């Protein structure tokens, strides 16, 4: 037994050595992008090279969200590097399996790689842990989709591309009330998930203020839950005209299916941004009439969006969802902010240990400056406050004919 | 009326647990090992059926009778064939070398196989969920549409019964069945009586995996989201169901599965959706404390 | 499920125990020196505390599975109890105990107490079950703990602790702060854990477990595993000694949980699920049932392995490779033929190594 453990250990050490060497022996300003699964050809000699390190789940239950953020950002990095400007990006994405422990070690792997800017994490709980580390170490961090207020709370260096959870709940309640969609509302959410619970609680707290009556609150414990007829029956029996479902699209697909096929119950269904992606997993007839709050519409004819969607479909064989779009915007927002840093060349010439601190301070002041505004495919005229939360116009879409129609 | 509709929901959920538990319990009963990879074989079966149906229905003439039947039947059969081969290969590569090892070693290997299948599935088929097309759609409406029993549920219950009767007969009668029972009692003694223990256990895995394929197709027909991790939680729930009914007992797995589904649904409906998992497991614990070998489990007195 | 394990040395000599202490101390000292010289990457440094936690988890689970011989699939539940009670204790004492190491120590004691209370509550009714039935009941308890913590909200203000099942019902005063927020878990936790604390916890765990095994009580526990009926017939109380082993195991897991919880800014209940319990069981079985040293090494290596597999070329296949390595190691260590083959190969490689060494020395 001991021998095999020793061998196992030896094997692990070999891997470790390989990992270390590939992490450390890369000069940072030489424009030698492309190692370590990094991407893009930093073709422009003498350009400033900035390393963006992404973190998100590539394996496990939430892999589909993490992979989407990884790929969306990859497309942006490739586009920016192809422009051949003065700033070239090196990009590397590490797996956190959706767990805080792994996310922190992924972050440290990126530190070993002399990362300059942290992009991530995809999900909330890992992001809170990583944000505490980046705050202490002084790295600029922009998350595409970790939407809890805990992510940015008390940290000046962490920014979000997505709406905060309670903010989204409030926006949804306002929208429902203003448009007179319903007065009696049922809420179904995942009480094992921070994102879902955050939006639901924001909605439930705000609903009475705008004249909505929450007739029932139903929960389920996990996204791998399969049966929702009890929750739907409760909504039906309570007379809910609208069912608010701030949940991810995988359980939502089952809810739509069971409401129609088992209960003949057809209220207005209203979802949050996690619902984006639903068109890929339900039949057109089921999704018809579904409303959701999403910053991104893949069927939009706008040039930037259409261009992104085409590239994503060509590279990965599926339609991008808002996670991918948020990732794409994150990289462009960082790029735009980098361009506005006056002494970027000076910062880039610093030693890696000091560079990220200087870059963090510079990027924070750009992001929070009143003149900084970013327009991307998940919204235009976005601005950030000192609390790291984004301000952008919410967009509500309704599904018609298998596509989103902006309201 | 809502009681009846909850009961139907519970039965349809429970029948899915039951059909998975049947495969679990059969393998346990004969090979005496907890095959934690069973849930993932189910997932593979569902993927195979999904791609077979997608591939075939594209080639069929739309609207024809053949288009409505052939892809489904072919999909199920192909899934069964692939899973059978997969089951035998897994058994031969990962479990057979450990025949003499302590049962915990086999348990850990099964967990390794489970992780392997999940990650391989993600690499092969992507992490994004697939929308599984139900092999039978529609439902029977009773009482002016307030009660709906889907055809999938009926098919699952019928399939469960068929499998249950089939397995009981197969194991109870015939040469192979006798060999299986002998292996279950005492592998060494069975070997001495001229039974090929390795072959018998391989057959057990082949049957168990074919059942997993059927379970996978029916599960995804009822709950049509298919992901690489689809098999993980139902695998645990089915394991629970199998223990609930008395692990190793085939009727027990059916009963355990159904009861688990019904208890889970009633808990959500009448007590709390927040704590449904906790309450279901609490019921399980109480049942096991009262009846330590499960509902229909055989109590084996200890030999001194 | 209890195994007649070959790897267990029933007579654990003091020497054996001392080797374990020495091994841990040497590795700790070497790591500290290497950190001082900047020779250890950030990745490995960030893994040191979790490695310590998993080592303690593995050794303590080994007490239940390897030494008591009862399969438990809910060990992460005790870790969870320890983690959240430890976090709450540390937050409560924020002002009262300014010294961070002392606060951490108190939190770990609190975590251990809560883990132990959980162990008594679970152990009393269920230890009369056996084999797979005990396994499923411990699994069930692990899931119950997870589910209950997921709906629990705990807040703190000048009036003390508040408990609720909805954040809105916490009724905190304006200066109050929610510590545990249901599915969001505990966030904004001050990071107190350190490698030194983890090292000390491992030493304490080794001290407790090794002395227990070597004591009169330990021999009673071992006798229950090897032949319960014979043990009972000579007057050994089954319930007492089973519970003793189970609760000690839970206390240690609770302390490890507190250390783990105080190492991250956020901790969620879903982390401590069935998969984590299984993972710890993997360490125990891979290290050898009953072998304390095996548990330590297996837990350390297998916790580091996925991190060491982070490498550009194989990044996509990281977890797949991890699974394959696990299966292969299980096969090689448990199959007589493969084991013999590898033994020979190892000898041959060693032979070559020795030859080279002597040749090198001649030059």
Q: Domains along chain B?
A: 2-290 (1.10.3470)
From the list C161, C167, C275, the residue with the least C-alpha distance to A191 is C167
Read off the pLDDT of residues A191-239 as tens digits, 9 standing for 90 and up.
888 889 999 999 999 999 999 999 999 998 887 788 898 899 999 999 9
pLDDT for C27: 95
pLDDT for C309: 86
Place B300 in a pLDDT band, splitting at 50, 70 and 90: low
> Which of A150, A225, A352, A353 should we substitute to test contact with C (largest number of C Cβ atoms within 10 Å)?
A150
Q: What is the mean pLDDT of residues C180-187?
A: 88
Q: How much is the ipTM here? A: 0.89
Please report residues of A whose CB lies closer than 8 A to that of C7.
1
Place B253 in a pLDDT band, splitting at 50, 70 and 90: very high
Look up the domain containing C223 and give its range. Answer: 14-308
| Chain A residue closest in CA terms to B274 | A219
A198–C310 C-beta distance less than 8 A: no
H-run or E-run covering B147:
strand B147-150
Q: Within its chain, how far is the Cα of A73 from the centroid?
A: 10
A280–B131 C-beta distance less than 8 A: yes
| Chain A residue closest in CA terms to C312 | A36
| Residue B126 forms contact with C (CB below 8 Å) | no
Query: Whole-angstrom Cα distance, residue A21 to residue A25?
Result: 6
Task: Kindly give the pairing relationship between strand B139-142 and strand A396-400.
Answer: unpaired
Asked if residue C105 is part of any domain, the answer here is: yes
C285–B108 C-beta distance less than 8 A: yes
pLDDT for A23: 38
Closest Cα of chain B to C182: distance in Å?
11
Closest Cα of chain B to C190: distance in Å?
29
Residue A352 has pLDDT above 80, yes or no: yes
| Chain C residue closest in CA terms to A17 | C308
> Which of A16, A97, A135, A149 should we substitute to test contact with C (largest number of C Cβ atoms within 10 Å)?
A16
Q: Report chain A's mean pLDDT, rounded to a whole number.
A: 86
C133–B288 C-beta distance less than 8 A: yes
| Residue B268 forms contact with A (CB below 8 Å) | yes
Three-class DSSP labels, chain A: CHHHHHHHHHHHHHHHHHHHHHHHCCCCCCCCCCCCCCCCCCCCCCCEEEEEEEEECCCCCCHHHHHHHHHHHHHHHHHHHHHCCCEEEEEEEEECCCCHHHHHHHHHHHHHCCCCEEEECCCHHHHHHHHHHHHHHCCEEEECCCCCHHHHCCCCCEEECCCCHHHHHHHHHHHHHHCCCCCEEEEEEECCCHHHHHHHHHHHHHHHHHCCEEEEEEEECCCCCCCCHHHHHHHHHCCCCEEEECCCHHHHHHHHHHHHHCCCCCCEEEECHHHCCHHHCCCHHHHCCCEEECCCCCCCCCHHHHHHHHHHHHHHCCCCCHHHHHHHHHHHHHHHHHHCCCCHHHHHCCCHHHHHHHHHHHHHHHHHCCCCCEEECCEEEEEECCCCCEECCCCEEEEECCEEEEC
CA A284, A286, A290 angle in degrees (round to 5)?
Answer: 95
Place B272 in a pLDDT band, splitting at 50, 70 and 90: confident
Asked if residue C319 is part of any domain, the answer here is: no
Query: Whole-angstrom Cα distance, residue C167 to residue A199?
Result: 13
Place B259 in a pLDDT band, splitting at 50, 70 and 90: very high
Percent of chain A with pLDDT over 90: 59
Q: Judging by beta carbons within 10 Å of its beta carbon (0-12, 13-18, 19+), is residue A184 exposed, middle or buried?
A: middle
| Residue B170 forms contact with A (CB below 8 Å) | no
Q: How far apart are the first and last CA of chain C?
A: 56
List subunits contacting chain A, requiring 3 or more Cβ pairs under 8 Å.
B, C
Q: Judging by beta carbons within 10 Å of its beta carbon (0-12, 13-18, 19+), is residue A55 exposed, middle or buried?
A: buried
The CATH number of A22-163+305-391 is which of 3.40.190.10, 3.30.565.10, 3.40.50.11890, 3.40.50.2300? 3.40.50.2300
pLDDT for A255: 93
* Alpha carbons within 13 A on the beta-carbon side of A225: 30
pLDDT for A13: 45
Q: Which of A268-277, B284-293, C289-298 is the least confident region? A: B284-293
Place A285 in a pLDDT band, splitting at 50, 70 and 90: confident
Asked if residue C321 is part of any domain, the answer here is: no
Number of domains in chain C: 1
pLDDT for B24: 87
Q: Judging by beta carbons within 10 Å of its beta carbon (0-12, 13-18, 19+), is residue A10 exposed, middle or buried?
A: exposed
Query: What fold characterizes domain A166-294?
Result: Rossmann fold (3.40.50)
| Chain A residue closest in CA terms to C331 | A4
Place C13 in a pLDDT band, splitting at 50, 70 and 90: low
Residue A32 has pLDDT above 60, yes or no: no
Helix (H, G, I), strand (E, B) or coil at B149: strand
Closest Cα of chain B to A9: distance in Å?
18
What are the structure tokens assigned to C1, written together?
């499920």
pLDDT for A29: 37
Asked if residue C350 is part of any domain, the answer here is: no
H-run or E-run covering B261:
helix B250-266
pLDDT for C353: 56
| Residue B19 forms contact with A (CB below 8 Å) | no
B284–C331 C-beta distance less than 8 A: no
Query: Whole-angstrom Cα distance, residue A234 to residue C194?
Result: 49
A192–C150 C-beta distance less than 8 A: yes
Read off the pLDDT of residues A90-106 as tens digits, 9 standing for 90 and up.
999 999 998 999 999 99
Of B13, B128, B276, nearest to A221 by CB-CB distance is B276
- Reported residue count of chain C is 363
Q: Where are the domains of chain A?
A: 22-163+305-391, 166-294
C5–B278 C-beta distance less than 8 A: no
> Which of C66, C134, C140 should we substitute to test contact with B (largest number of B Cβ atoms within 10 Å)?
C140
B243–C133 C-beta distance less than 8 A: yes
Torsion sign across C-alpha atoms C120, C123, C126, C127: negative
Q: What is the mean pLDDT of residues A348-354?
A: 89
Read off the pLDDT of residues C270-285 as tens digits, 9 standing for 90 and up.
899 988 999 999 999 9
Are A26 and C343 a contacting pair, CB within 8 Å? no
Torsion sign across C-alpha atoms C5, C7, C12, C18: negative
Tell me if domain A22-163+305-391 and domain A166-294 are identical in fold: yes
Asked if residue C352 is part of any domain, the answer here is: no
Place A27 in a pLDDT band, splitting at 50, 70 and 90: very low
Please report residues of A whose CB lies closer than 8 A to that of B269.
230, 233-234
Closest Cα of chain A to C43: distance in Å?
5
B119–A262 C-beta distance less than 8 A: no
Query: Whole-angstrom Cα distance, residue A88 to residue A41?
Result: 9
A237–B13 C-beta distance less than 8 A: no
Please report residues of B whose CB lies closer than 8 A to that of C70.
none
Q: What is the mean pLDDT of residues C157-172?
A: 81
Q: What is the radius of gyration, based on Cα positions, of chain C?
A: 22
- Mark A222-243 as b/e (b = at least 16 C-beta within 10 Å): bbbbbbbbbbbbbbbebebbbb
Q: Report chain B's mean pLDDT, rounded to a whole number.
A: 88
Asked if residue C353 is part of any domain, the answer here is: no
Question: How does DSSP classify residue C262?
Answer: T
Q: What is the mean pLDDT of residues C129-151?
A: 87
């Amino acid at each position: 037994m001991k021998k095999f453990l020793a061998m196992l250990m030896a094997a692990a050490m070999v891997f470790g050595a390989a990992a270390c060497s590939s992490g450390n022996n890369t000069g940072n300003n030489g424009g030698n992008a492309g190692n370590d699964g990094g991407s893009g050809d930093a073709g422009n000699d003498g350009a400033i090279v900035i390393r963006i390190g992404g973190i998100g789940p590539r394996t496990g239950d939430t892999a589909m969200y993490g992979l989407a953020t990884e790929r969306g950002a990859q497309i942006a990095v490739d586009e920016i590097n192809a422009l051949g400007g003065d700033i070239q990006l090196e990009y590397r994405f590490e797996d956190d399996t959706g767990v805080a422990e792994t996310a922190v070690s992924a972050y440290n792997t990126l530190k070993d790689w002399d990362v300059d800017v942290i992009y991530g994490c995809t999900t909330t709980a890992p992001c809170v842990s990583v944000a505490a580390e980046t705050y202490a170490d002084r790295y600029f961090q922009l998350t595409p989709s970790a939407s809890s207020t805990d992510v940015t709370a008390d940290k000046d260096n962490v920014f979000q591309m997505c709406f905060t959870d309670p903010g989204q709940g409030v926006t949804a309640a306002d929208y429902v009330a203003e448009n007179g969609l319903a007065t009696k509302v049922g809420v179904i959410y995942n009480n094992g998930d921070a994102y879902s619970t955050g939006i639901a609680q924001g909605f439930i707290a705000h609903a009475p203020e705008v004249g909505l009556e929450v007739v029932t609150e139903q929960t389920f414990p996990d996204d791998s839950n399969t049966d929702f007829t009890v929750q739907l029956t409760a909504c039906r029996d309570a007379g809910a005209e609208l069912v608010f479902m701030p949940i991810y699209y995988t359980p939502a697909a089952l809810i739509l299916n069971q409401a129609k096929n088992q209960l003949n119950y057809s209220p207005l269904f209203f979802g949050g941004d996690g619902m984006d992606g639903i068109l890929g997993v339900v039949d057109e007839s089921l999704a018809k009439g579904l409303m959701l709050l999403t910053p991104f519409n893949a069927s939009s004819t706008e040039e930037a969006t259409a261009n992104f969607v085409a590239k994503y479909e060509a590279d990965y064989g599926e339609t991008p969802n808002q996670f991918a779009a948020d990732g794409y915007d994150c990289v462009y927002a960082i790029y735009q902010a980098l361009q506005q840093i006056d002494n970027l060349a000076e910062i880039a010439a610093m030693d890696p240990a000091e560079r990220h601190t200087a870059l963090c301070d510079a990027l924070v002041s750009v992001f929070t400056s009143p003149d900084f505004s970013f327009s991307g495919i998940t919204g235009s005229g976005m601005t950030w406050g000192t609390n790291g939360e984004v301000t952008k116009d919410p967009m509500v879409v309704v599904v018609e004919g298998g596509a989103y129609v902006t309201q | 009326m809502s009681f009846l509709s909850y009961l139907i929901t519970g039965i349809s959920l429970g029948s899915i647990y039951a059909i998975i538990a049947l495969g679990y319990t059969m393998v346990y009963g004969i090979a005496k090992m907890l095959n934690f990879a069973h849930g993932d074989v189910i997932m593979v079966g569902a993927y195979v059926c999904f791609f077979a149906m997608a591939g075939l229905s594209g080639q069929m003439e739309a609207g024809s009778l053949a288009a409505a039947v052939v892809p489904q039947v072919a999909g199920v059969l192909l899934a069964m064939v692939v899973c059978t081969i997969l089951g035998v290969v897994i058994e031969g590569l990962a479990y057979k070398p450990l025949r003499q090892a302590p049962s915990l070693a086999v348990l850990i290997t099964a967990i390794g196989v489970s992780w392997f299948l999940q990650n391989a599935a993600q690499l092969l088929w992507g992490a994004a969920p697939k929308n599984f097309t139900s092999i039978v759609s529609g439902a029977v409406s009773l009482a002016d549409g307030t009660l709906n029993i889907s055809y999938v549920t009926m098919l699952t219950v019928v399939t469960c019964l068929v499998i249950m009767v089939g397995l009981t007969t197969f194991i109870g009668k015939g040469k192979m069945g006798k060999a299986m029972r002998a292996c279950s009692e005492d592998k060494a003694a069975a070997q001495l009586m001229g039974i090929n223990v390795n072959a018998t256990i391989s057959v057990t895995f082949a049957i168990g995996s074919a059942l997993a394929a059927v379970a996978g197709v029916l599960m995804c027909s009822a709950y049509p989201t298919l992901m690489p991790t689809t098999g993980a939680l139902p695998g645990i729930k089915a394991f629970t169901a199998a223990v609930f009914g008395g692990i190793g007992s085939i009727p027990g797995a059916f009963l355990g599965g159904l009861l688990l589904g019904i208890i889970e649904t009633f808990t959500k409906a009448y007590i709390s959706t927040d704590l449904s998992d906790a309450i279901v497991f609490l019921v399980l614990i109480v049942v096991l404390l009262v009846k330590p070998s499960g509902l229909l489990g055989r109590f084996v007195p200890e030999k001194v | 499920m209890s195994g007649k394990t070959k790897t267990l040395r029933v007579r654990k000599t003091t020497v054996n125990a001392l080797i374990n202490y020495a091994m841990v101390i040497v590795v700790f000292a070497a790591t500290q020196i290497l950190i001082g010289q900047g020779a250890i990457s950030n990745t490995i440094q960030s893994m040191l505390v979790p490695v310590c936690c998993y080592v303690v988890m593995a050794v303590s689970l080994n007490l239940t599975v390897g030494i008591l011989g009862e399969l438990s699939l809910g060990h992460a539940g005790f870790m969870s109890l320890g983690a959240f009670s430890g976090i709450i204790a540390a937050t409560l004492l924020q002002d009262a105990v300014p010294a961070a190491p002392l606060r951490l120590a108190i939190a770990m004691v609190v975590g251990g107490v809560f883990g132990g209370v959980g162990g008594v509550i679970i152990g009393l009714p269920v230890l009369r079950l056996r084999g797979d039935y005990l396994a499923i009941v411990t699994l069930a308890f692990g899931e119950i703990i997870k589910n209950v913590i997921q709906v629990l909200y705990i807040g703190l203000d000048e009036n003390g602790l508040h408990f609720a099942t909805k954040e809105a019902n916490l009724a905190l005063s304006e200066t109050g702060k929610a510590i545990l927020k249901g599915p969001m878990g505990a966030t904004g936790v001050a990071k107190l854990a350190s490698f030194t604390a983890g090292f000390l916890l491992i030493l304490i765990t080794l001290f407790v477990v090794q002395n227990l095994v070597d004591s009169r009580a330990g021999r009673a526990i071992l006798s229950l595993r090897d032949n319960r009926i014979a043990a009972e017939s000579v007057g050994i109380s089954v319930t007492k000694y089973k519970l003793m082993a189970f609760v000690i195991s839970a206390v240690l897991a609770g302390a490890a949980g507190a250390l783990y919880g105080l190492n991250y800014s956020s901790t969620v209940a879903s982390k401590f699920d069935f998969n984590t319990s299984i993972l710890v069981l993997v360490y125990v079985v891979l290290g050898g049932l009953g072998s304390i040293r095996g548990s330590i090494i297996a837990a350390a290596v297998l916790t580091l392995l996925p991190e060491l597999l982070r490498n550009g070329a194989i990044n996509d296949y990281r977890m797949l490779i991890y699974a394959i390595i696990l299966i292969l190691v299980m096969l090689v260590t448990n199959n007589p033929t493969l084991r013999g083959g590898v033994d020979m190969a190892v000898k041959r490689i060693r032979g070559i190594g020795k030859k080279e060494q002597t040749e090198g020395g001649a030059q």
